[in-house]
């Protein structure tokens, strides 16, 4: 069971990332490629600061600010320069590669004897369970914060920006500002994931973010399937399911590994599993609507 537990731990480390992708993708309909860069940015800042014996709290603060700047930059390029959101994200992600490398100083920085969020609480149990409790607490905090944010007037304006930009403009809301803030929030969450993952795996690596946006999108789409299937509208439940989607995605990968498929087929089998999960309810849904 320990193996599946570690898969869940990894998924929970990505909880910030999937919430971030949910905001950019589902609320603004922007596939935000900045994610690949800002996730590594969170990891790089974490490794650089912790290995220079900075405190966890200062590190978290810097990680949040760095993520916000990255996201806001994508938002600015997209809204003010009228550049396609996809390209804006790609540009920021590409630029972040060099910035991350500069922050890290080298491509791979292992954390040895540094502070860690997983050592904040010490229960006399298996260290994995200890980490699990910590991550669940963080996950609930993130969910509650985002859930609250999306229920405020500001949050409702944000959601409306994604649903019907013309209408919300007519109501006198600056959609540009909404998008910039929304992307900043999304990337703060993503950077936080990088922060957690770096401590979980014990190192930051310049390539850690490659393809992570795909993992996030996969998780969100699995969640969307569940949401449609169970006909859920309440935003808090939706956010819970988004994290459940991440857990399912990682468990599928774990399952593929555990079955011991040929290394070359690893990704294909993972893709087929996800297809099954997402596709089967679709079949039942269409039957329901016929």
Partner 1 sequence: MKYAALLIFVALLTLTFGCKTRDKNVPVVGFADAFEDATISQARDGFTDALAANGFSKEKHTVDIEYRNAQGSIPTLTQIINQFVSEKVDLIATCTTLSTVTAAQKTKAIPIVMMVSPTLARAHLLDASGKGPSNLFGAVEDLNYIDTSFSIIPKVLKPKSGKLVVGMIYNQSEPQSADALERIKGLASKMNVNIVALPLNSSADAQLVTQSLLSKNIDAFFANPDNTVFAAFETILKSCNAVNVPIFTSEAGLVKRGAVAAFGADIYQWGYQAGLQAAQYLKTRSMNGLKPEMVKIRKRVYNPAAAAKYNIKLPNNFQPVK
Token pair recorded at residue 23: 């905001």
Token pair recorded at residue 107: 């491509």
Window 188 to 227, contacts with partner 1 (CB under 8 A) = 197, 200-203, 205-208, 210-212, 215
Angle at 64 between CA 240 and CA 43, to 5 degrees: 90
One residue of 2, 153, 233, 234 binding partner 1 per CB under 8 A = 2
232 contributes a contact to partner 1 by CB under 8 A: no
CB within 8 Å of 148: residues ≥ 6 apart: 155
- Rounded CA-CA distance 208/202 in Å is 12
One residue of 63, 109, 150, 246 binding partner 1 per CB under 8 A = 109
- Decide whether 82 or 106 has the Cβ nearer to partner 1: 106
- Rounded CA-CA distance 7/14 in Å is 11
For residue 110, what are the β-bridge partners?
203
- Decide whether 137 or 202 has the Cβ nearer to partner 1: 202
**Nearest 10 degrees: CA dihedral of 34, 37, 43, 49?**
-100
- Decide whether 5 or 149 has the Cβ nearer to partner 1: 5
228 contributes a contact to partner 1 by CB under 8 A: no
CB of 135 to partner 1, least distance (A): 15
- Name the H helices within the chain: 2-13, 15-21, 34-51, 56-80, 85-104, 127-151, 153-163, 165-170, 175-201, 212-230, 235-259, 266-289
286 contributes a contact to partner 1 by CB under 8 A: no
- Rounded CA-CA distance 26/12 in Å is 20
- Decide whether 157 or 200 has the Cβ nearer to partner 1: 200
- Decide whether 2 or 172 has the Cβ nearer to partner 1: 2
Binding mask 164-183 for partner 1 (x = CB under 8 A): --------------------
CB of 111 to partner 1, least distance (A): 7
CB of 32 to partner 1, least distance (A): 19
Reduce the DSSP state of residue 207 to 3 states and report it. coil
First and final C-alpha spacing in the chain:
42
CB of 254 to partner 1, least distance (A): 6
Window 252 to 271, contacts with partner 1 (CB under 8 A) = 253-255, 257-260, 263-264, 266-267
- Rounded CA-CA distance 188/186 in Å is 6
Size of the site for partner 1 (CB under 8 A): 54
29 contributes a contact to partner 1 by CB under 8 A: no
Q: Which residues bind partner 1 (CB under 8 A)?
A: 1-3, 5-7, 10, 97, 101, 106-113, 197, 200-203, 205-208, 210-212, 215, 229, 248, 250-251, 253-255, 257-260, 263-264, 266-267, 273, 276-277, 279-281, 283-284, 287
């Amino acid at each position: 069971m320990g193996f599946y537990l570690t898969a869940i731990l990894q998924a929970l480390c990505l909880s910030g990332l999937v919430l971030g992708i949910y905001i950019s993708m589902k609320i603004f309909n922007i596939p935000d490629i900045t994610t690949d860069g800002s996730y590594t940015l969170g990891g790089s800042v974490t490794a650089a600061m912790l290995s220079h014996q900075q405190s966890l709290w200062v590190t978290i603060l810097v990680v949040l600010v760095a993520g916000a700047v990255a996201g806001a930059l994508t938002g600015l390029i997209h809204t003010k320069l009228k550049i396609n959101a996809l390209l804006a994200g790609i540009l920021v992600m590409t630029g972040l590669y060099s910035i991350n490398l500069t922050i890290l100083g080298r491509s791979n920085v292992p954390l040895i004897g540094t502070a860690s969020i997983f050592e904040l609480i010490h229960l006399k149990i298996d260290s994995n369970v200890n980490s699990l409790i910590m991550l669940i607490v963080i996950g609930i905090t993130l969910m509650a914060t985002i859930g609250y944010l999306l229920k405020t007037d500001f949050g409702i304006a944000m959601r409306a920006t994604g649903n019907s930009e013309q209408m919300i403009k007519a109501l006198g809301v600056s959609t540009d500002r909404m998008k910039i803030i929304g992307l900043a929030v999304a990337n703060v969450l993503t950077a936080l994931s990088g922060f957690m993952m770096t401590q979980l795996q014990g190192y930051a690596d310049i390539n850690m973010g490659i393809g992570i946006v795909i993992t996030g999108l996969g998780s969100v789409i699995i969640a969307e399937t569940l949401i449609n299937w169970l006909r859920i509208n309440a935003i808090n439940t939706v956010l819970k399911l988004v994290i459940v989607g991440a857990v399912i995605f990682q468990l599928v990968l774990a399952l593929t590994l555990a079955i011991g498929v040929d290394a070359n087929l690893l990704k294909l089998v993972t893709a087929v599993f996800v297809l099954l999960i997402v596709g089967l309810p679709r079949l039942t849904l269409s039957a329901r609507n016929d």
